[in-house]
Structure 1
Amino acid sequence: MKYLLKISLLALVLTSCQTKTKTESTVIEDVKASDITTSIYPDNVTKVFNAHGGIDNWNSMRTLSFTMTKPNGKEVTTTNLKTRAERIETPTYAMGFDGETLWVNEKGGEAYKGNARFYKGLMMYFYAMPFILGDSGIIYEETTSLTFEGKTYPGILISYESGVGESPDDQYILYYDDTTGKMAWLAYTVTFGKDEKSTDFRYIRYDDWQTINGLILPKSISWYKYEDKVPTEKRNTLVFEDIQLTNEAPDQSLFAKPESAKIID
């Protein structure tokens, strides 16, 4: 992701007048993360951030770590929130990204069978909702609401400027509770390795929250089956444990490539 903050003066004027729904992006030079305030976001996006403890509080954090229990054991993910350096530690492999080099270190002779470039940052993005949608290079638009079990949730369509991230054609829809402002659903497409946008949105429900350092973040998230672009029934739930969220930066050596690791091109 790019770290210079991108917004449009025109979009700010339109948002303040509440006459348009789309927020465009352009460059404002030399803006540090610590200078970011909620005023740069559309009102509905700010409403969601505020309901979860505030984007400014989130931007003060530097280290995020969490554990997930997978079929092959515990998977521990640690991320430098400023550089997006990451280390994923499992019983059968370790995967890391130091900001430039992506690597995988196999353990016990068992070959790594995943797609490291696709998986890098993936679970951190899902966990860090809704704040991850405050990154630079994002375009916000209002979109059709989602109705589930008789309740309607307004939607915010998230898309990316060209060249942002590994999959700039990915799209997300954040659905939120209009009364509380809290995030309720995430719809997302998968375009990694493809040359065009997708209209096949998958659905994750966010309805199990916990407070960490004043921020309301997921305790668990649930994927749902879907038909005709609407979620139907729960498919599976992933629980996050041992959450560590601090304003102290992690030791960069954590992300360094071991001699035995393979570099992923």
Structure 2
Amino acid sequence: MKLLYKLSLLLVLAVIVSCKETPKITTETAKEVVTENDVITYPETWVASRVSKAKERLNGTEAGKVIWNAMEAHGGLDTWYANGPVTFRFNYQPLDGKTARDSYQTVDTWSNRAVHTSATDSSAKFGWTGEKAWVMAKDSTAFAYDTKFWALTPLWFVGHPFVLSGEGVNLELLQPTTFKDNDYNVVKVTFDAGTGDAPDDYYILYVNKESNKIAVMRYIVSYPEYFKDGGHAPEKFTEFIGEQTVDGITMPGGFKTYWTVKNDQPGEYITKIDFTDVSFESDLPKDFFDAPEGAKILE
């Protein structure tokens, strides 16, 4: 199964619907799609081309070199694509008692589609097809949060640095810093105008100078549906806790999020995130990411 998958792959990075916490991915469209035994597969040449273009683009700047080296340290962009869609449980737990978000999800790293299944009710699902958001649940309170906004957000926690490989991503090398007695290169990520639904968002990543692995992600949320008059939420400081390696890709073991305070330090601890049950999938049915019959299509 893995062999067939690796022999025929494609990544399509589509402009996504803005998702809470981290709402952006850029567009690069592939031309050829092959359907074989009801499984969508893609020409293997695309992955090589996509990785080559990303490598050339990233290595054109000092900030880009830091991110490319981080990709290599986390397992390699080619491996990330070749492994196929990633499945995991993402349990987002605000410590102030606000709505938790706990789902099993499968995310198509080629075209940024997603399907979420409630961790407590396997019949309750929502997703993003690449063009539209949908939800299917017997109880309207099954997902007491903005599922359209949340559909791809977890990818922007678990998918760094690989989600920075597309066009429309701007990288700036900031002054290095020290956190918990380790030295870090610091890269600020911004986006071209028109990229995603919240191009004013930014991320600031701490990349360990020795290991080249990411340890911290600072970010803001500027989703216009939440900030109709402009502006954004206060900056958050997310620490990557531990690590796990699955099929050659090293990802965090979990996350702790704080408000960012004076001198870019973590302040009040506000959210615990468990990231478990990680695997990569191949040979998913060609309609896996489609809105199921009976689902409600969201505006």
Per the normalisation by structure 2, the TM-score is: 0.71
Taking structure 1 as reference, are residues 50 and 64 closer, same or farther at Cα in structure 2, changes over 3 Å only? same
Relative distance call for 1:254 and 1:121 in structure 2 (3 A) is same
Which of 100, 115, 134 is residue 103 of structure 1 equivalent to? 134
Q: How does 1:1-265 map to 2 (within 5 A)?
A: 1=15, 2-4=26-28, 32-35=46-49, 36-37=51-52, 38-41=55-58, 42-69=64-91, 75-90=103-118, 91=120, 93-108=124-139, 110=141, 112-193=143-224, 194=227, 196=230, 198=232, 200-228=234-262, 229-232=264-267, 234-246=269-281, 248-265=282-299
Q: Percent identity?
A: 23
Shift of 1:257: 2.1
SS of corresponding position for 2:288: helix
Q: What is the rounded CA distance, in whole Å, between the counterparts of 2:173 and 2:256 in structure 1?
A: 24
Q: Which residue of 1 aligns with 2:3?
A: none
Output the CA distance in 2 between the equivalents of 1:94 and 1:115.
Answer: 13
Q: CA RMSD in A?
A: 2.5
Distance 1:85 1:171 in 2: 22
Contact 1:63 1:249 in 2 (8 A): no
Question: Do the aligned partners of residues 116 and 230 (structure 1) sit closer, same or farther apart at CA in structure 2, a change above 3 Å counting?
Answer: same
Output one character per residue of 1:191-216: Cα deviation in whole Å (capped at 9) or x when no partner.
01236464832111114111111111
Secondary structure at 2:154's aligned position in 1? helix
Cα displacement (A) at 1:77: 0.7
Deviates more, 1:197-206 or 1:42-51: 197-206
Q: 1:250, 1:69 → 2: CA distance?
A: 24
SS of aligned partner of 1:252: coil
Secondary structure of 2:174 counterpart: strand
**CA–CA separation in structure 2 for the residues paired with 1:109 and 1:227:** 37
Which whole-Å deviations, capped at 9, do the CAs of 1:90-120 have from their partners, x for residues lacking one?
0353111222121111234535431122212
The alpha-carbon deviation at position 69 of structure 1 amounts to 4.1
Task: Give, in angstroms, the shift of residue 164 of structure 1.
Answer: 1.4
Aligned-pair CA distance for 1:81: 1.2
Task: Give the whole-Å Cα distance in 2 for the aligned partners of 1:147 and 1:256.
Answer: 45
In 2, Cα distance between equivalents of 1:209 and 1:249? 27
**Per-residue deviation at 1:249?**
4.8
Retained in 2: the 8 A contact 1:80–1:86?
Answer: yes
Using the size of structure 1 for normalisation, the TM-score is 0.80
Q: Which amino acid in structure 2 is aligned with residue 231 of structure 1?
A: P
Q: CA deviation at 1:48?
A: 1.1
In structure 2, give the amino acid aligned to 1:205.
Answer: E
Query: Does the aligned pair in 2 maintain the 1:80–1:249 contact within 8 Å?
Result: no
Q: Secondary structure at the match of 1:75?
A: strand
Gaps of 5+ in 2: 1-14, 16-25, 30-44, 59-63, 94-99
Instruction: Report deviation, 1:261.
Output: 2.0
Contact 1:139-1:161 at 8 Å conserved across structures? yes
The answer on whether the counterparts of 2:256 and 2:269 sit within 8 Å (CA) in structure 1 is: yes
Conservation of the 8 A alpha-carbon contact between 1:62 and 1:250: no
Q: Which blocks of at least 5 consecutive residues in structure 1 are unaligned?
A: 6-30
Secondary structure in 2 matching 1:144: strand
- 2:79 is aligned with what amino acid? N
Question: Which SS does the other structure have where 1:48 is aligned?
Answer: helix
Alpha-carbon spacing, 1:154–1:233, altered in 2? closer, same or farther (3 Å): farther
Assess if the C-alpha contact under 8 Å between 2:234 and 2:259 holds in 1.
no
- Counterparts of 1:94 and 1:63, CA distance in 2: 18
Distance 2:283 2:113 in 1: 11
Q: State how far apart, in whole Å, the 2-side matches of 1:56 and 1:153 are.
A: 25
Contact 1:34 1:60 in 2 (8 A): no
Q: Do the aligned partners of residues 73 and 188 (structure 1) sit closer, same or farther apart at CA in structure 2, a change above 3 Å counting?
A: closer
Compare relative contact order (CA 8 Å, sep 6+) and give the higher one, 1 or 2. 2
